Structure 1
Amino acid sequence: MKKFSSFRVYSLFTFLVMTFLSGIVVKPYFILTDNPSQRVQYVLGEFNFVHSLATVFICLIVYLILEFFENGGFKDEK
């Protein structure tokens, strides 16, 4: 049975976190106050599934490329 490498665990965990974070939408709300530091407040909006799906495809391609080169890349079979 093949063991899990730390590369696979860390890369898959990182890609899952990136996928989740890419879908979160942060919206700025502008408030009219006398204090300039309080004029903009950032509020979490909805979850954007399209951005998350695009990140899944990008991370999958990067993971497959990294996995390919970790295993030695192209090998001449004679």
Structure 2
Amino acid sequence: MKKISAFKIYALVSFLIISFLSGIVIKPHFILTDNPSQRVRYVLGGFNFEHSLTAIFICLMVYLLLEFFEGGFKDEK
């Protein structure tokens, strides 16, 4: 039975977190006040599934590249 390495667990969990966070949409709302530090408020604007799918695809490609070259290159010394 092949052992699951810590690299695989760490990579998959971090890629899932990145893909979830990339789908969150934050919208700015501008408020007319005299205080410049209170003029912009950021509000959660929903979840963009398309951005999340794009992040999953990119993370999957990076993971497969890392998995493929885990042993290093053949010409490497």
Write the distance in 1 (CA, Å) between the matches of 2:66 and 2:44: 33
Q: 1:35 is matched with which residue? A: 35
* 1:1-50 Cα deviation digits (max 9, x unpaired): 11110110110011000000000000000000111100000011110000
Look up the SS of the partner of 2:18 in the other structure. helix
Gaps of 5+ in 1: none
Could you tell me how far 1:71 is from its partner in structure 2? 3.5
- Any residues of structure 2 matched to 1:1-78 within 5 Å, and which? 1-73=1-73
Gaps of 5+ in 2: none
Could you tell me how far 1:73 is from its partner in structure 2? 5.0
Task: After the TM superposition, list the runs of 4 or more consecutive aligned residues in structure 1 that deviate by more than 6 angstroms.
Answer: none
Q: TM-score, normalised by structure 1?
A: 0.90
Q: TM-score, normalised by structure 2?
A: 0.91
1:41 corresponds to which letter in structure 2? Answer: R
Q: Number of matched residues?
A: 74
Aligned residues: CA RMSD: 1.1
